[in-house]
Amino acid sequence: AQSVTQPDIHITVSEGASLELRCNYSYGATPYLFWYVQSPGQGLQLLLKYFSGDTLVQGIKGFEAEFKRSQSSFNLRKPSVHWSDAAEYFCAVGPSAGNMLTFGGGTRLMVKP
Amino acid sequence: GAGVSQSPSNKVTEKGKDVELRCDPISGHTALYWYRQSLGQGLEFLIYFQGNSAPDKSGLPSDRFSAERTGGSVSTLTIQRTQQEDSAVYLCASSSIRLAGGYINEQFFGPGTRLTVL
pLDDT tens-place string over residues A3-42: 999 999 999 999 999 999 999 999 877 788 999 999 987 8
pLDDT tens-place string over residues B3-34: 999 999 999 999 999 999 999 999 888 889 99
- Strand residue runs (E) in chain A: 3-5, 10-14, 19-21, 24-26, 32-38, 44-50, 56-58, 64-68, 73-78, 87-94, 102-103, 107-112
Chain B nearest CA to A44, separation (Å): 6
Q: How many residues does chain A have?
A: 113
Which is nearest to B88 in space by CA: B116, B66, B60, B46? B116
The SS3 assignment for B109 reads strand
Q: Does B110 touch chain A (CB under 8 A)?
A: yes
Between chains, do B91 and A45 touch, taking CB under 8 Å as contact? Answer: no
Q: How high is the mean pLDDT of chain B?
A: 89
Q: Does A3 touch chain B (CB under 8 A)?
A: no
